[in-house]
Structure formats: structure tokens, C-alpha cells
Amino acid sequence: MRPLGLMTTPANPLLQPWPEPHGLPPFAAIAPEHYEPALRSAMAEHLAELDAIAADPAPPDFENTALALDLAGRALQRIALLFNNMVAAETSPALQAAEQAVAPLLAGHEARVLQHAGVFARLDDLHGRRRDLGLDVEQVRLVERFHLDYCLAGARLAEPQRNRAAAIAMELAGLCTTFTQNVLADESENGLWLTEGDVAGLPAGLVSAARQAAAQRGRPDGWLITLSRSLVVPFLTQSPRRDLREKAWRLWMDRGRLRTDRDNHQVANKILALRNELAALHGCATYADHALRDTMAATPAAVTALFDRVWRPAVAKALAERQALQTAAAELGEPADIEAWDWRYLAEKVRASRFAIDDAEVKPYFSLERMVQAAFACAQRLFGVSFTEVAGAELYHPDARLFEVHRGGARMGHFISDNFARPTKRGGAWMNEYRYQSVAGGRVLPLVGNHNNFNKPDAGQPALLSLDDVRTLFHEFGHGLHGLLSQSNYQRLACTRVLKDFVELPSQLFEHWAIEPAVLAEHALHAQTGEPMPAALLERVLAARKFGQGLETVEYTLSAYLDMGLHTRTDGGTLDIAAFERQLMADLGVPDGIFGRHRPAHFLHLFSGPDYAAGYYVYMWAELLEADAFEAFTEAGDPFDPVVAERLHRHVYSAGNRHAPGAAFRAFRGRDPDPGAMLRKRGLGG
């Protein structure tokens, strides 16, 4: 079997080898029309590889079944990963049209792969004998994960049910693509246009970012607050104009419903109905029951119990914060009835008053370039990893940068850093692999990308970040390290291909170093003077972080309740989603002026695909793990303690899915996690 299964069609660059030393896709040569024929060709080859596995006359063993499965479909995987990255990071109308055509094809192919009767028969036989074959721990894990993949996809279902499950998967892929494109369309077509008078009182950096955003939309003489979080949140925080804050907030919250002909509530209802049908085919009462079968949480009840533990203290803290905001509103002449578009503005006033914090004073110490170098330096101190920029690398956009990654003198992979917002890029922040690491079948080095949406500065000026932006940068970089440090033999167990309520542990844990005083003292240098942040200012910045945890926790937990509520119902398809959201908020007693971090019509975690559906809870579940994990460094008395860092590297960042996540955490920490650590971190008791 050819390790990469590459076919040779000179006319299509996607089907050619990607040359070393960097193994980059030939971005400049690839056109949207190349994807569908390349994917069809690679899918056909993948199915032929599976047919060959099933037809092997030799009895099933690890090499001819489990390893063969891991090596099969590499060409398809490579093209599909690239395609999924491009539709998110640098899309176009032609690429979106290709996405509408390709998404159902890929979903249907995955269903055919995971319901291949001949392959499953061999895999099922091998699984039953896995403990008697002298396999090592990682080989056993590979057999178990493949077997579970097939079972969860319906390999044990009767043929009519298997066929229906495959059809549902294809229909869901199309609907999820529509949902995502509707949000992107609303984000790219809408925003709050400002006049010169409207920007009065805003920080210079925000005015500059609004000017850049307007220029990207073809109006260099205007100012635009886009619906990107990195621009609209600073505006809600800084604008003294309550009327404009309300307009910006409503546009931001109503993404996905700004035009009646692309109302995502209708799309979401269709998705929910199909997910309910899929769950029923698998014998599950609700989609949440089905989605949680392969997670640490395991059941909706366990997830809800986690929320319930946090909810009351979070609401109490938010109400206390609200009292402080009302006092500030009275002093500023703002209305006493605090609305959602007032909360961040007044909270910033309270924060500035209590901690003498001025955003204009703080942001110059958080230049993007220095914070990127801070993240690299932390990775070096913790894990011995170095990053060297590759000059002149041809990527998909001029803002993207390529770095070669080394550890102990050995090349570990490549890292793409893509940090600025643009109309052709989806909102939010994310990490994706372009290529997974593996050893078996020939060493493959990972290619990992971090994608943020920070505001691009004027030419010649440094990009300045908020502290929340810095945490986002470190969060995504934590995911990136999880992919780059992987040391698995098999791609199915490599990089971030772990259980979804474990995958956020490496990313959220790495956020701690973003606010570590020693890191900020070394890297938070003024963009103009190069002077370090004064110790007194640093102390105030870190102290100010505690204020606002009530709002932040309630916003997140409400969205997590919404996710679980939608996916534990069985009336998807006919549900009044807006009414459901209102009733949920009333039942929970959400304080006035607070809404969820995500509203249903733009909740991409839920409706852009299956990964976070009935799974938005994973951030809090991972926080339960990472808060306790960082306390290991606190107990050691050093945030870079080499003994703790080595254990963290061995059992978490490099381990992939070689071990069950609970066992991996216990190997690192020496015990199960302490839930109280999360409450202590958030200042909610514990």
C-alpha cells in the first residue's frame, strides 16, 4: 500500500506531492474548481483501499487491519483538511459554492467508510482478540478507537438504518454549511458605520481599527465597527454613545437572522430534527445522549450537574457586579436600568475607578509581535520548543506567516500564524491541523495553523492587543502546541484527535502563562519606548481581571445550558427557538442585562458541524481539569518547574489519544482533578 496513496493527475495540483522542506500546499496554483474533482478522486481511492483491506485472505491482525486503516485515505485527508481550512480562513464566492457541493460528498463518504461491512467484520474480529495478541498499549488503543468509531457511526445497525444514517449525515453537512455561510454573510455585509462625530471619545487604537475595517470594505474615508468580536467588544466597552452601543450590540447578537431569506433559526430547526432522528436510529433518547457516548462526561446529567455547581455562585457574583455598575451609571448620568449594551461600558468604568486602569495606558504594552514572542518563549521554557520564521514562504494570504518548529535539534513540524481579521475570514479564533503527525508508514510532521481575528493596525504601526486578546492568542497557541508536540505512531491517535471534553485542556491551561507576572515582566514592553510595564500597573492589571468574572461565567454557562437544552429536546423541527431561549433565561433567573455569549442564530459551535453539538460544555469541563493542572506548578513554587513541565509534556501535550483522558490526567497529576480549583480560579469559592 502506498503510504500517501497519491494519484497523479498533472492538471490538478491537489493530487500532486507537496514538496519538502516544508510540505506546503501549492496555494497559488490551487483554484476552487480543483477541489471537487480532487476529492472525488481521493474518495474513490480511499474506498478502493478499504475494499482491499476487506478482501485480504489473511486472518485479521494488527498490521493488515488496524494499521492498514490508519494508512488508508491519507490523500483524501490531506485535501479535505486543506479545503476546510481555506473555507474558514480565506473564502470567496467560488469557494463557498464549492463548499455547498463538497460538504455533502464528504459526509456521505465518511458514512460509507464507517459503515463498510467488510472492514468492520475484520475490525470486530480483531477487537475481540486484542488482549491476546501481544500488542503494546498504543496498538490496543488504536484498535479500540477504530472499533468505537465504527460502532458510533452505526456499523452494527441493520442495513436500512445504516443507509438512513448516511443520508442524514449528508443532509446535515449541507445544512451546517448553509448555517455557517449565513453567519459569515451577515458578518461581511453588516456593521455599524460611524461618522467623525461618532468616534469622538473613542481610544485612538479603536478609531484606527475602525478606519482599517472601513477601508477593507472599500470606504477608506469612513469608520466601521464590524461584527468581529475583536472590534465590536472594544466598541461596547469604550463608546460613550449609548444609542450607538445599542445598535452595535443588536447587530452583533442578531447575526444569522439579519435577513429573513437566511434566517438561521429555520436552518437550526432542520438540523435539530435530523439530529433527533439520528439519535433515535442509534437507540438514544436524545441527541445529547448520542453525542456524549464517547466523552469523559458520558451523560447529559453529568454535564448539567457541572453547570449547576457553578450557576448560583456565578449569578450571585454578577448581581454584586451589577450593583457596582448601577452606582457608576448614576455618577455618569446613565439610566439605572442597565441593558446588555451598557454592561461592558459601565464595567470598564468601575474597573478603571477601582484599579486605576486605562485601556489606552495598558494596550501599548501588549503588542502582537511581542506577545507572539512571549508565547514562543513560554513554549521554549516549558517544553524546549523553538520557532524560526521561514522567510518568503508562499501561503494563502500575505498576513499569514510560516514558522519551522524544532525540539532537541529535531524538526517537529511547521506552524502557520494568521492573526488579523478580514472580510474573507470567518469570525472567532481557532486552531486547525493542515496535516497530522504520525510515524507508522513513514514519518509525517504536523502542519498546524492558528487563526485569530485581531484588528489590523495602520501601516507602520504595531498591532496592540487587549488582555483578553492576549489570552486568546495563548489559548489557540496551546492548541497549536498540542498538535505540534504530538508523538503518536498512528494518525488516528495523534495531535488533537482526543475526546472533545479533553481537547480544550492544553489550550486553556496555556492561558495561565499569558497572565503570569514573570512572563509579562519580560515581554509586556511598551510598543514605542520598549520600557517594561511598571510593576504597579502590572499588579493593577492582574487584580482587575477578577472583576467581571460574574458576567463572564453567566454568559458562558447560559450558552452551555442553551446547547444542552436544545439537544435534550425531541421536538426539533417545530421548536420556536427564540421562545425557548427566553423561557430558559426566565427559568434560570438570568440577571437583567445579561445574555448568553452566543445566541442560537450564530452559535457556530452548535450548528456549523457536529464537533461541539451537545458539547459546548467542554470549555468548563476542561477548565475543571486545567485549573487543577496549573496548581501543580503553584505547588512546585515555579510556573516553569522542569519536573512538572516534563510530566505535562509526556502525559498531555505529546500524548495525543494514546491513553484514555482520565488516565492521562491521573498520570500527570497523580490523582483525579479537584473541582474546587475551577471555583477558586474564578473567585466563586471552592
Q: CA separation (Å) from 510 to 408, 475, 480, 617? A: 21, 6, 10, 19
Distance CA 254, CA 598 (A): 10
Q: Say how many C-beta atoms besides its own lie within 10 A of residue 225's C-beta.
A: 29
Which three-class secondary structure state does DSSP give residue 189?
A: helix
Strands in 109-264 per DSSP E: 192-194, 223-225
> What's the rounded Cα separation, in Å, for the pair 198 and 210?
11
Residue 126 identity (one-letter amino acid): L
Q: Look at residues 413, 420, 455 and name the one whose alpha carbon lies nearest to residue 434.
A: 413
- Sign of the C-alpha dihedral computed for residues 467, 473, 474 and 475 taken in this order: positive
b (16+ CB within 10 A) / e for 164-201: bbbebbbbbbbbbbbbbbbbbbbbbebbbbbeeebbee
Three-class DSSP labels, 586-617: HHHCCCCCCCCCCCHHHCHHHHCCCCCCCCCC
- DSSP letter at 447 equals E
Q: Say which residues have a Cβ less than 8 Å from residue 248's Cβ, sequence separation at least 6.
A: 192, 225, 232, 235, 236, 239, 341
C-alpha to C-alpha distance for 600 and 583, rounded to whole angstroms: 14
Number of helices (H), then strands (E), in the chain = 27, 7
Amino acid letter, 536: A
421 Cβ contact list (under 8 Å, min separation 6): 213, 226, 228, 230, 231, 427, 453, 454, 455, 456
Q: Which residues of 503-527 are buried (b: 16+ CB within 10 A; e: fewer)?
A: bbbbbbbbbbbbbbeebbeebbbeb
* Triad 416, 422, 427: Cα angle to 5°: 80
Question: What distance in Å separates the CA atoms of residue 315 and residue 321, rounded to the nearest whole number?
Answer: 10
What does the alpha-carbon distance between residue 167 and residue 278 come to, in Å, rounded to a whole number? Answer: 10
Rounded CA gap, 184 and 175, in Å? 14
| Cα distance between residue 126 and residue 62, in whole Å | 7
Q: How many residues does the chain have?
A: 686
DSSP-assigned letters across all residues of 326-352: HHHHHHHT--SS--HHHHHHHHHHHHH
Q: Cα separation of 403 and 387, whole Å?
A: 6
Task: Look up 476 and say whether it is catalytic.
Answer: yes
Query: One of 45, 187, 476, 581 is an active-site residue; which one?
Result: 476
CB 387 within 8 A of CB 486: no
Within 8 A by CB and 6+ apart from 400, the residues are 89, 416, 417, 418, 449
CA–chain centroid gap for 587, Å, is: 29
CA dihedral 556, 557, 558, 560 (to 10 degrees): 90
Residue written as grid cell 506531492: 17
CA 608 to chain centre: 12
All three cell numbers of 482, joined, read 498540542
The residues carrying an active-site annotation are 476
